[in-house]
Amino acid sequence: MNQTSHSSLVSFIWRIADDCLRDVYVRGKYRDVILPMVVLRRLDTLLEPTKDAVLEEVRYQKEDTGATEWDDEPLKDASGYVFFNTSHWTLKKLYSTATNNQQILLANIEDYLDGFSDNVKEIIGRFKLFEQMRHMADKQVLLDVIEKFVSPWINLTPNEIEDPEGNTLPGLSNLGMGYVFEELIRKFNEENNEEAGEHFTPREVIHLMTHLVFDPIKDRLPRILTIYDPACGSGGMLTEAQNYITDADGPIHAHGDVYLYGKEINDETYAICKSDMMIKGNNPENIRVGSTLSTDEFFANRFDFMLSNPPYGKSWNSEVKYIKDGKDVIDPRFQVKLADYWGNVETMDATPRSSDGQLLFLMEMISKMKPTSASLLGSRIASIHNGSSLFTGDAGSGESNIRRFIIENDMLDTIIQLPNNLFYNTGITTYIWLLSNAKPEARRGRVQLIDANLMFRKLRKNLGDKNCEFSDEHIQQITEAFLNFAPVERQINAAGDPEGIAVQIFDNADFGYHKVTIERPDRRRAGFSAERLAPLRFDKSLREPMEWLYDEHGDQVYQPGFLKEQAKQIAAWCEEAGLTLNAKAKAKLLDTKYWVKLRDLLATATQIMGDVGLEEIDDFNAFRKTVNAAIKARKIKLGVTEKNAILNAVSWYDETAQKVIDKKHKLTGAEVEALTTHLGCATEDLADFGWYRQKDGSYLTYETTAELRDAESVALKDDIHRYFLAEVKPHVEEAWINLDSVKIGYEISFNKYFYRHKPLRNLEEVTQDILALEEKADGLIADILGVEVATTLEPAE
C-alpha cells in the first residue's frame, strides 16, 4: 500500500470519531471506540472470503458429528487464520439488515461477537467493546459508526477493490494494516498527552533502538528469530523491530521466521497489542496479560533480542510479596551471585528500592538471555531508563548489585544519553542501555558511553512534554558512533557552545569502587548523677509518650491493668502529638511488666551510683571496671543490655578523654602472620587497620563511635591502603580502616565524564553588553554603574 493510500485511510478513520462520536464521548475517549472497531472490521474483512467454509464446518460439527463444543482446529483450517467466527453475521450483514430498533441490532451484534473464537473474544472483552456498543446504541449512533466502517469508500480488506466511482482501492496487507493501526494509536496518544508516554515510545526512538540492536549482526541473523518485550504496551517495540528486519527494502532482511513475545499489565493496551499481532499474522498467544514482575510467564523461554521501555519512577510495592519474603528474595530472576571483597561468592539481592521498579524489568530480560553455548550470538538487549538506574543505590544495595552483576559479567556494551523532552510524559534525561552476552573481542572488558543529548531538532508544536525529535540523520550519526566504538571529542561552535555527539570508552572496572568504613576510637567521660539516670525510667524509643504518662499519672502506671484502661486516652494523645506507633510499640507502651522492669533498672542504677560516687573521670575503661566491681559486690544480676544502658546513660563522648578499649589481644607469631595476610599489610601497618601493638607485644583494639564514623569511596583500580595513607591519615591521625566492612559498588555518572567547564566571560565583555542595553533604559544603568555612555558604543575587542 502506498503512502498516499495509507494516509487517506488513516484520515478517513480519524474523521469517523468527529463525524459520529462528538456528542457522545469526550475527545479523549474516542480511542475507546475507534481502535477496537478498527480491529473488529479488519478481522471481519479477513474472515469474509471464507465465511461459507466456516459455516459449512459449523453445520458439519453440529449435524453430522453432534458435537456439543466446537473443535477449533478444523474451524481455523476453514477460516485460514488462527481465529474464526461461527455466527452467520458479518458487519456488512448487520448493517444491511438493521432497522431503527436498537435492541434488535444489539442482540444481533451480541450474537455476532459471541461467535468469535476465544482469542478474539478475549480481545473484545479487554476492549469492553460490547459495553461501548450498548452506549452508542443508547445514543443512537451505533449504526452510523458501523456504516462508516463498512463504507465502500475505504478498503480494509487484503484485496484490491473499486469504490462506487470505479476508482481502485488497493488491498491492505497485514503489514500495511499494522502501519495504519500504529498511526492511529500514535495520533490518539498525541491527542491524549497525559497518557501518551505511558504506553507509547516515540517512533524515532524505536527506530534508533532497532538499528542499535540489529545492525551489528545484520549479516549473521539466525533463521528463526525471537523478540521479547516484558512491558510491551501497545506493541510498538515488537512490531517496529519486526518491520525493520523483514522489510525487503530495508538495510537488513531476515529470510527466516520472526516470532514476537510480550507481556502487558494494562488491559486496553494488552488488547491493542494482541489484536495488532493477530492482524499482522503473528501468534497472539505469545502476548500475555498481567504483571511481568509478579509472574514469570516465559520461564522456559530464551530470546534472541529484547527491546523495552519499562515504567520508571513507578512503585512495585504491590508486587513485593511475589518477589520477597521479608528481606529474602524468593524469585531467582532477582538474585545474583557476586563475590565479596575477600572473594567469597554469595547469592545477593538484586532488587531496587520499592518506589522504582525499572531495573527489575532489566533483570527479567537478563534472565531470558540465550547462553552462548546455545547460540553463538547470545542475546542482545536495548532498554530505556532514566538517570536513577545509573547511580541510585549505595554499594551493596540492590541497584548497585544489578549494575555490578551486569558489568562484571561483561554484558554492558553501551549507554546512550538521549535529549531531554524526547518523550511524551516526561522532560527528564533518558538513556538507552545496550547489553550483550556475546560481545565481540574488540569490545570485551570495555563499555562505551555516548552523549547524544544535543542531537535533536525542535518540533513545531509540543506533544505533551515532547518538544523535540530525532531526524534520520541523527539516528544515522548515533548508530555510526555506536558501531565505530571509538572516542569522539565534542565539537565547540563559534559561540563557544558544545554541539554534536561525544563518545568515551571505559574499562569495566572504571565504574566500580570500594566503599570503606573509616573508624575512630570512642573517647568517653563518665560520671553518675540523678539527672543522667532519670531517663532509664523510660524506653528511649518511647520516651515522649512514656514521660507524658508518668507526668500525668505518676506511680499509677505500675498498677496492674491501669495502662490498658487508659488505652483510648493514650491513642488520642499520640494522634494529637503526631506520633505513629506500630503494633509492637503500642504493646510495649501498655505493658505494665515492661514499665516495672525499667523502674527496677533505674533503682538498681541508683544503688550503684551510691557505691561509686558522683566523681567525673576521663578514663571510661577505669570507670567501667569500678561499676562492674560495684555490681559484683552487691551480687546484682544484670544482663549485658541492662548494664550497657546504665553505662551509656552516665557517659558521653569527649575528645579530650581516654580511648575506650574494646579488647586486649595476645597473639602468637602465627596469628599475627594470619592477620597480616588477611588484611594484606605488613606488621608495622597493623595500626592502620585498627590493631595497635603494645610494649608487651600484645595488641589493643578500640571501641568505635558512630558519630565520627565515616565512609570513603575508593576506585577499584586504586589500593585502599594507599588511598587511606594519602587522603585520610594526614587529616585524622587516629583513624583506621575497617576492612571487614568493605562493600563493592558500581555507578555511572554521565555528568562527571562529559562535563565541560565553560569559563565565565571577562568583566569588559559583560560591561559592554550591559551598556549596549543602556540605550534602551534611558541612562538608568549608567547612573548605577557610575559611567558615561557614549552616543555610539564601540564594539568590545
Q: Which domains does the chain carry?
A: 3-172 (no CATH), 182-514 (3.40.50.150), 524-653 (no CATH), 760-797 (no CATH)
| Cell output for 28 | 479523549
**CB contact at 8 A, 264 and 273:** yes
Confidence (pLDDT) at 64: 75
Q: Is the pTM of this model over 0.75?
A: yes
Report residue 195's pLDDT band, with 50, 70 and 90 as the boundaries.
very low
Report residue 160's pLDDT band, with 50, 70 and 90 as the boundaries.
confident
Reply yes or no on whether the pLDDT at 638 is more than 80: yes
Give whole-number Cα distances, 557 to 155, 454, 530, 552, 720, in Å: 85, 69, 21, 9, 55
Q: Please spell the DSSP secondary structure of 758-778, one letter per residue.
A: -PPPPHHHHHHHHHHHHTTTT
Report residue 246's pLDDT band, with 50, 70 and 90 as the boundaries.
confident
pLDDT digits (tens, 9 = 90+) for 329-357: 999 999 999 999 999 999 999 999 999 99
Chain mean position to CA 17: 36
SS3 367: coil
Reply yes or no on whether the pLDDT at 790 is more than 60: no
Q: Max Cα separation, the chain?
A: 115
Please tell me which residue, 248 or 538, carries the higher pLDDT value. Answer: 538
Instruction: Select the highest-mean-pLDDT range: 150-164, 256-270, 394-408.
Output: 394-408
Number of alpha carbons in the 13 Å side-chain half-sphere of residue 377:
21
Chain mean position to CA 452: 21
Confidence (pLDDT) at 793: 46
SS3 736: strand
Q: How confident is the model over 697-713, as a mean pLDDT?
A: 95
Contacts 24+ apart (CB under 8 A), 68-77: 72/117, 75/117, 76/117
Please tell me which residue, 276 or 563, carries the higher pLDDT value. Answer: 563
Closest CA to 112 of 81, 133, 145, 87: 87
Tell how many helices (H) and how many strands (E) occur in the chain: 32, 27
Confidence (pLDDT) at 254: 65
Task: Please list the alpha-helical segments (H only) found in 60-117.
Answer: 72-79, 91-96, 102-114
Closest CA to 516 of 733, 709, 749: 709
Q: How confident is the model over 474-503, as a mean pLDDT?
A: 91
Report residue 423's pLDDT band, with 50, 70 and 90 as the boundaries.
confident
| Cell output for 702 | 578500640
Confidence (pLDDT) at 196: 41
Query: What is the average pLDDT score of the chain?
Result: 89
Q: How confident is the model over 696-706, as a mean pLDDT?
A: 95
| H/E run at residue 729 | none
Angle formed at CA 718 by CA 714 and CA 722, multiple of 5 degrees? 90
Q: How confident is the model over 543-555, as a mean pLDDT?
A: 94
665: left (phi over 0), alpha (psi -120 to 50) or beta: beta
pLDDT digits (tens, 9 = 90+) for 495-525: 778 889 999 999 999 999 999 999 999 999 9
Sign of CA dihedral 499, 505, 508, 511: negative
Reply yes or no on whether the pLDDT at 69 is more than 80: yes
pLDDT digits (tens, 9 = 90+) for 96-121: 998 888 899 999 999 999 999 999 99
Please tell me which residue, 516 or 166, carries the higher pLDDT value. Answer: 516
Reply yes or no on whether the pLDDT at 652 is more than 90: yes
Residue corresponding to grid cell 499481532: 277
Please tell me which residue, 208 or 185, carries the higher pLDDT value. Answer: 208
261: left (phi over 0), alpha (psi -120 to 50) or beta: beta
Query: What is the Cα Rg of the chain in Å?
Result: 37
Confidence (pLDDT) at 795: 47
Confidence (pLDDT) at 778: 62
**CB contact at 8 A, 498 and 454:** yes
Judging by beta carbons within 10 Å of its beta carbon (0-12, 13-18, 19+), is residue 429 exposed, middle or buried? middle
Sign of CA dihedral 482, 484, 486, 487: negative
Confidence (pLDDT) at 35: 86
| Euclidean distance between CA atoms 273 and 286, whole angstroms | 11
Confidence (pLDDT) at 787: 61
Residue corresponding to grid cell 569502587: 513
Confidence (pLDDT) at 331: 96
pLDDT digits (tens, 9 = 90+) for 612-623: 999 999 999 999
Torsion of CA 56, 59, 65, 68, to 10 degrees: 130
pLDDT digits (tens, 9 = 90+) for 6-65: 678 888 888 888 889 888 888 878 888 988 998 899 899 999 999 999 999 999 988 877
